[in-house]
Amino acid sequence: MRAPTFLRHALLLLGLASTSGLSHAACESGLAERMHAKLYPRQPLDERLAACKVWPAFPGRSIVVLPMPRETTDKGAKVFDLALLLIQRPDNGNTDRDTVIGRIFLPEALDEDATTTIQEIRVDTSRYVLSPDTRAFGLRVRYRGNSPTSGPRASETVRLYVQRGNKLQQVLQEVELDHDDGGWDTTCTGRFEKLRTMLSVARTTSNGFADLQLSRTLVQSHAQEQEDQGCVEKALPAKFSTVTLHHDGERYKVPKSLQQAP
Protein backbone atom coordinates (compact mmCIF):
# COMPACT_ATOMS: atom_id res chain seq x y z
CA MET A 1 0.00 0.00 0.00
CA ARG A 2 1.36 3.38 -0.97
CA ALA A 3 1.90 5.86 1.85
CA PRO A 4 -0.47 8.86 2.11
CA THR A 5 0.57 12.03 0.28
CA PHE A 6 1.15 13.95 3.50
CA LEU A 7 3.48 11.25 4.80
CA ARG A 8 5.47 11.12 1.55
CA HIS A 9 5.90 14.90 1.61
CA ALA A 10 7.07 14.82 5.21
CA LEU A 11 9.60 12.07 4.47
CA LEU A 12 10.87 14.10 1.51
CA LEU A 13 11.39 17.10 3.79
CA LEU A 14 13.33 14.91 6.19
CA GLY A 15 15.56 13.74 3.37
CA LEU A 16 16.21 17.27 2.14
CA ALA A 17 17.05 18.42 5.65
CA SER A 18 19.48 15.56 6.03
CA THR A 19 21.22 16.47 2.78
CA SER A 20 21.46 20.14 3.70
CA GLY A 21 23.20 19.23 6.94
CA LEU A 22 26.14 17.46 5.33
CA SER A 23 28.32 20.53 4.95
CA HIS A 24 28.95 23.78 6.81
CA ALA A 25 31.07 25.87 4.45
CA ALA A 26 32.68 28.10 7.06
CA CYS A 27 33.78 25.06 9.09
CA GLU A 28 35.74 23.58 6.20
CA SER A 29 38.72 25.73 7.19
CA GLY A 30 38.89 23.87 10.51
CA LEU A 31 37.66 26.83 12.54
CA ALA A 32 35.43 24.72 14.80
CA GLU A 33 38.14 22.17 15.46
CA ARG A 34 40.73 24.86 16.25
CA MET A 35 38.44 26.67 18.67
CA HIS A 36 37.50 23.40 20.34
CA ALA A 37 41.13 22.34 20.78
CA LYS A 38 41.99 25.74 22.21
CA LEU A 39 39.06 26.21 24.60
CA TYR A 40 37.60 22.78 25.45
CA PRO A 41 40.31 20.16 24.83
CA ARG A 42 39.06 17.84 27.57
CA GLN A 43 35.60 17.39 26.04
CA PRO A 44 34.86 15.48 22.82
CA LEU A 45 33.47 17.40 19.85
CA ASP A 46 30.71 16.09 17.60
CA GLU A 47 32.18 17.31 14.30
CA ARG A 48 29.10 16.20 12.37
CA LEU A 49 26.88 18.66 14.23
CA ALA A 50 29.39 21.50 14.63
CA ALA A 51 28.27 24.64 12.81
CA CYS A 52 29.98 27.80 11.60
CA LYS A 53 28.69 30.81 9.72
CA VAL A 54 29.97 34.22 8.73
CA TRP A 55 27.82 37.02 10.20
CA PRO A 56 27.28 39.32 7.22
CA ALA A 57 26.12 42.23 9.38
CA PHE A 58 29.57 42.50 10.97
CA PRO A 59 32.63 42.27 8.69
CA GLY A 60 35.17 39.70 9.78
CA ARG A 61 32.91 38.02 12.34
CA SER A 62 31.92 34.37 12.40
CA ILE A 63 29.65 32.41 14.72
CA VAL A 64 30.75 28.93 15.80
CA VAL A 65 28.69 26.26 17.57
CA LEU A 66 30.54 23.45 19.36
CA PRO A 67 28.30 20.50 20.37
CA MET A 68 30.07 18.34 22.92
CA PRO A 69 28.38 15.05 23.88
CA ARG A 70 28.40 13.66 27.39
CA GLU A 71 28.28 10.01 28.29
CA THR A 72 24.97 8.94 29.82
CA THR A 73 23.81 5.80 31.54
CA ASP A 74 20.40 5.65 29.88
CA LYS A 75 20.36 3.27 26.93
CA GLY A 76 20.38 5.18 23.66
CA ALA A 77 20.39 8.59 25.35
CA LYS A 78 22.92 11.34 24.78
CA VAL A 79 23.26 14.82 26.26
CA PHE A 80 25.16 17.67 24.63
CA ASP A 81 26.88 20.67 26.14
CA LEU A 82 26.98 23.60 23.73
CA ALA A 83 29.53 26.36 23.36
CA LEU A 84 28.58 29.33 21.17
CA LEU A 85 31.45 31.54 20.08
CA LEU A 86 31.60 34.90 18.33
CA ILE A 87 34.91 35.10 16.48
CA GLN A 88 36.64 38.16 15.02
CA ARG A 89 38.81 37.05 12.13
CA PRO A 90 41.75 39.08 10.72
CA ASP A 91 41.63 40.50 7.20
CA ASN A 92 44.88 38.76 6.24
CA GLY A 93 43.48 35.28 6.89
CA ASN A 94 45.98 34.49 9.65
CA THR A 95 44.05 31.89 11.65
CA ASP A 96 46.42 32.29 14.59
CA ARG A 97 44.89 35.71 15.17
CA ASP A 98 41.26 34.54 15.33
CA THR A 99 39.91 36.18 18.50
CA VAL A 100 36.93 35.13 20.62
CA ILE A 101 35.01 38.34 21.34
CA GLY A 102 31.91 36.74 22.85
CA ARG A 103 30.89 33.32 24.10
CA ILE A 104 28.46 31.33 26.18
CA PHE A 105 28.67 27.78 27.55
CA LEU A 106 25.37 25.93 27.85
CA PRO A 107 25.59 22.70 29.88
CA GLU A 108 23.17 19.94 28.82
CA ALA A 109 21.60 22.24 26.25
CA LEU A 110 20.50 19.46 23.89
CA ASP A 111 19.60 15.81 24.25
CA GLU A 112 18.57 12.87 22.13
CA ASP A 113 17.35 9.39 22.94
CA ALA A 114 16.29 6.16 21.28
CA THR A 115 13.30 7.82 19.60
CA THR A 116 14.65 11.27 18.71
CA THR A 117 17.97 12.32 17.22
CA ILE A 118 19.50 15.69 16.42
CA GLN A 119 19.74 15.89 12.65
CA GLU A 120 21.28 19.31 12.12
CA ILE A 121 22.42 22.47 13.92
CA ARG A 122 22.44 25.72 11.95
CA VAL A 123 23.30 29.34 12.66
CA ASP A 124 20.60 31.81 11.63
CA THR A 125 21.84 35.30 10.71
CA SER A 126 18.50 36.73 9.60
CA ARG A 127 17.86 40.42 10.26
CA TYR A 128 16.92 40.22 13.96
CA VAL A 129 17.42 43.89 14.85
CA LEU A 130 16.00 44.14 18.36
CA SER A 131 17.01 47.73 19.13
CA PRO A 132 19.19 50.41 17.45
CA ASP A 133 22.31 48.88 19.03
CA THR A 134 21.26 45.24 19.47
CA ARG A 135 21.21 42.57 16.78
CA ALA A 136 20.56 38.92 17.53
CA PHE A 137 21.50 35.71 15.77
CA GLY A 138 19.64 32.44 15.95
CA LEU A 139 20.52 28.85 16.73
CA ARG A 140 18.31 26.41 14.86
CA VAL A 141 18.16 22.73 15.71
CA ARG A 142 16.39 20.12 13.61
CA TYR A 143 15.25 16.92 15.31
CA ARG A 144 14.11 13.68 13.70
CA GLY A 145 11.96 10.91 15.13
CA ASN A 146 13.07 7.31 14.74
CA SER A 147 9.81 5.37 15.02
CA PRO A 148 8.34 4.34 11.62
CA THR A 149 4.91 3.52 13.06
CA SER A 150 4.42 6.89 14.77
CA GLY A 151 4.75 8.70 11.45
CA PRO A 152 7.34 11.14 10.09
CA ARG A 153 8.31 13.08 13.17
CA ALA A 154 10.57 16.03 12.47
CA SER A 155 10.82 19.40 14.14
CA GLU A 156 12.91 22.55 14.03
CA THR A 157 13.45 24.94 16.92
CA VAL A 158 15.12 28.32 17.31
CA ARG A 159 16.84 30.25 20.10
CA LEU A 160 18.14 33.82 19.88
CA TYR A 161 21.38 35.27 21.29
CA VAL A 162 22.88 38.75 21.57
CA GLN A 163 26.34 40.00 22.49
CA ARG A 164 26.79 41.64 25.90
CA GLY A 165 30.40 42.75 26.27
CA ASN A 166 32.57 39.65 25.96
CA LYS A 167 29.65 37.32 26.62
CA LEU A 168 26.68 36.04 24.65
CA GLN A 169 23.24 36.15 26.25
CA GLN A 170 20.23 34.05 25.35
CA VAL A 171 17.21 36.32 24.87
CA LEU A 172 14.79 33.76 23.42
CA GLN A 173 14.54 30.26 24.84
CA GLU A 174 14.03 27.27 22.55
CA VAL A 175 10.78 27.62 20.62
CA GLU A 176 9.46 25.15 18.07
CA LEU A 177 8.95 26.74 14.65
CA ASP A 178 8.18 23.80 12.37
CA HIS A 179 7.14 20.22 12.75
CA ASP A 180 5.86 17.26 10.77
CA ASP A 181 4.07 14.80 13.01
CA GLY A 182 1.54 12.01 12.89
CA GLY A 183 0.80 8.36 13.32
CA TRP A 184 -0.33 5.66 10.93
CA ASP A 185 -0.81 1.90 10.67
CA THR A 186 2.04 1.56 8.08
CA THR A 187 -0.46 0.78 5.30
CA CYS A 188 -2.79 3.79 5.00
CA THR A 189 -4.88 4.84 7.98
CA GLY A 190 -3.44 7.66 10.02
CA ARG A 191 -3.50 11.28 11.11
CA PHE A 192 -0.84 13.82 10.26
CA GLU A 193 -0.08 17.46 10.86
CA LYS A 194 2.33 20.02 9.52
CA LEU A 195 3.28 23.23 11.33
CA ARG A 196 5.17 26.04 9.65
CA THR A 197 6.14 29.26 11.44
CA MET A 198 7.65 32.52 10.25
CA LEU A 199 9.66 34.37 12.90
CA SER A 200 9.93 38.12 12.30
CA VAL A 201 10.68 41.35 14.13
CA ALA A 202 7.53 43.39 14.76
CA ARG A 203 7.23 47.17 14.56
CA THR A 204 5.98 47.38 18.14
CA THR A 205 8.36 47.46 21.12
CA SER A 206 8.43 46.42 24.77
CA ASN A 207 10.98 47.80 27.27
CA GLY A 208 13.00 49.30 24.43
CA PHE A 209 13.21 46.09 22.38
CA ALA A 210 11.27 45.11 19.28
CA ASP A 211 8.56 42.53 19.80
CA LEU A 212 8.89 39.21 18.00
CA GLN A 213 6.06 37.84 15.90
CA LEU A 214 5.38 34.17 15.21
CA SER A 215 3.06 33.67 12.23
CA ARG A 216 1.95 30.04 12.36
CA THR A 217 0.17 27.79 9.87
CA LEU A 218 -1.11 24.38 10.95
CA VAL A 219 -2.36 21.87 8.39
CA GLN A 220 -3.92 18.60 9.56
CA SER A 221 -5.02 15.64 7.47
CA HIS A 222 -6.20 12.10 7.92
CA ALA A 223 -6.07 9.05 5.68
CA GLN A 224 -8.45 6.11 5.63
CA GLU A 225 -8.37 2.94 3.60
CA GLN A 226 -11.52 2.53 1.48
CA GLU A 227 -12.77 -0.76 0.07
CA ASP A 228 -13.23 0.58 -3.45
CA GLN A 229 -10.98 3.66 -3.58
CA GLY A 230 -7.74 2.54 -2.02
CA CYS A 231 -6.13 4.99 0.41
CA VAL A 232 -8.08 8.24 0.59
CA GLU A 233 -6.57 11.26 2.31
CA LYS A 234 -8.43 14.39 3.34
CA ALA A 235 -6.80 17.64 4.41
CA LEU A 236 -8.63 19.85 6.88
CA PRO A 237 -8.76 23.64 6.42
CA ALA A 238 -5.50 25.28 7.45
CA LYS A 239 -5.43 27.06 10.80
CA PHE A 240 -3.61 30.39 11.03
CA SER A 241 -2.47 32.11 14.20
CA THR A 242 -0.12 34.87 15.29
CA VAL A 243 1.74 35.03 18.59
CA THR A 244 3.58 38.16 19.72
CA LEU A 245 6.45 37.85 22.20
CA HIS A 246 7.33 40.80 24.42
CA HIS A 247 10.70 41.62 25.98
CA ASP A 248 10.68 41.94 29.78
CA GLY A 249 13.99 43.82 29.97
CA GLU A 250 16.11 40.65 30.05
CA ARG A 251 14.56 38.23 27.57
CA TYR A 252 11.41 37.45 25.63
CA LYS A 253 8.55 35.95 27.58
CA VAL A 254 7.35 32.74 25.94
CA PRO A 255 3.91 31.33 26.77
CA LYS A 256 3.90 27.80 28.15
CA SER A 257 2.10 26.51 25.07
CA LEU A 258 5.19 27.30 22.97
CA GLN A 259 7.87 26.19 25.40
CA GLN A 260 9.87 23.07 24.64
CA ALA A 261 9.38 20.28 27.13
CA PRO A 262 12.52 19.64 29.20
Of the candidates 84, 79, 95, which has an alpha carbon nearest to the alpha carbon of residue 44? Answer: 79
pLDDT, one tens digit per residue, over 85-102 is 999 988 776 777 889 999
pTM, 2 dp:
0.86
Q: Computed from CA positions of residues 184, 188, 190, 192, in that sequence, does the dihedral angle turn out positive or negative?
A: positive
Q: What are the angstrom distances between the C-alpha of 207 and each of 121, 203, 252, 256?
A: 31, 13, 10, 21
Distance from the Cα of residue 147 to its chain's centroid: 21
pLDDT at 35 over 70: yes
Residues facing 65 on adjacent strands: 51, 84
The overall longest dimension of the chain from CA atoms, in Å, is 70
User: What's the mean pLDDT when you consider all of the chain?
Assistant: 85
Distance from the Cα of residue 108 to its chain's centroid: 16
Strand bridging mode 51-54 / 61-70: antiparallel
243-252 mean pLDDT: 96
Banded model confidence at residue 256, pLDDT cuts 50, 70, 90: confident
pLDDT, one tens digit per residue, over 165-223 is 999 999 999 999 999 888 877 777 888 889 999 999 999 999 999 999 999 999 998 88
